[in-house]
Structure 1
Amino acid sequence: MYTINTQLAYFKYNLDSKKLIVNIKWFKLNTFSNLNLQAISFNRSYLELFKNFIDKNQHNFPGSCFVEETRKEGFDLLINNELSQSALPYYLILSKNSKLNLGNSIYQAEMIMLMDENYEFTINYTLDFDVIGKIEIYKEIKSLINA
């Protein structure tokens, strides 16, 4: 079983585009309902599929990715649509059926859409399984100013 750590950029989880780059530890999303999330480590075949998706979308996953072998690591999370206690969600979900949060509240787990470098067009998540990432570190992307 495996987890994968990447950076993530050019994404949004509500109508506002957040120019952030986050370090994320990814898991396969096993169960997702209004009440709970269950994440599990990737098996080898799911890991390879997700790595191929990352390789095809380097601007969304800049830098290196790190695969870690685990012992059936995962987590269960009761959400009950609880609000995040920070300015960001704790978990980001990539799914073929992503729906942006249209409100101003930020929940503990939010579905995201991958975007192009100008935040104009969405990048389709094409895999037949959902993934969830736990945000570990984040920072704002600074705009480059031409002198």
Structure 2
Amino acid sequence: MYTLNTQLAYFKYSFNFKRLLLHIKWFKLEKAADLRLQGVCFDQAELQNFKSFIDRNKLNFPGSCFIGQAGAEGLVLPSENPVSQSDLPFYLILSKNPKPGAEHLMAQVQIITLTDDNYESMAAYNLDFDVIGKIEIYKNAAACKVNLSDKLIL
């Protein structure tokens, strides 16, 4: 079982785009029977499919990917709606078939779409499973004048 860490750039959610460079830890998205969201680790085939998607969309996933081996760990979302100290959500979802309102299952979760470098056209997410990413680090790319191909230092 595996997790995948990447950088993320050129995306939007809720009709807003953000000029940000994020460091994300990705998991496969599972929805429990009680409509709660949870992230589980990727198996080998899922990891390779997601990595291939990332390789085809280097604009949105600049820099290197880091694969982490994991046991039974997963992404445990809090049962209560956390209050964010920023205008960013805590978790981002990439989905082949985003369902309107699904991001409101829990506060601070947003479904995102990938865009081009003008934040206009969308790169299609076409995998058979959804992914959820936990934002670990973020930088305002416009203010920092970050070169999106640079490695993000943790």
TM-score bin (small chain): 0.7 to 0.9
Change (3 A) 1:32 1:94: farther
Query: Which structure 2 residues correspond to residues 1-147 of structure 1 after superposition, within 5 A?
Result: 1-31=1-31, 35-77=35-77, 82=81, 84-85=83-84, 86-98=86-98, 107-142=107-142
Q: 1:7 to 1:32 in 2, by over 3 A?
A: farther
CA distance in 2, matches of 1:47, 1:125: 15
Deviating more after overlay: 86-95 vs 46-55: 86-95
8 A contact 2:95–2:129 mirrored in 1? yes
- Aligned-pair CA distance for 1:7: 0.1
* Paired amino acid for 1:77: L
Q: Once structures 1 and 2 are overlaid, which stretch shifts more, 65-74 or 24-33?
A: 24-33
* Identical residues among aligned pairs (%): 53
Amino acid at match of 1:68: G
Residue correspondences, number:
139
Q: How many Å separate the matches in 2 of 1:83 and 1:122?
A: 29
Query: CA, structure 1 residues 41+141, in 2 after alignment: closer, same or farther (shift >3 Å)?
Result: same
Helix, strand or coil for the counterpart of 1:26?
strand
For residues 141 and 132 of structure 1, what CA distance do their matches in structure 2 show? 22
CA shift for structure 1 position 98: 2.5
Can you give the 5+ residue segments of structure 2 that lack an aligned partner in the other structure? 146-154
Deviates more, 1:34-43 or 1:89-98: 34-43
8 Å Cα contact 1:29-1:38 kept in structure 2: yes
Letter in 2 for 1:142: A
Letter in 1 for 2:75: F
The RMSD of aligned alpha carbons is: 2.2
Is the 1:35–1:78 contact (alpha carbons within 8 Å) kept by the matching residues of 2?
Answer: no
Aligned to 1:72, what secondary structure does the other structure show? coil
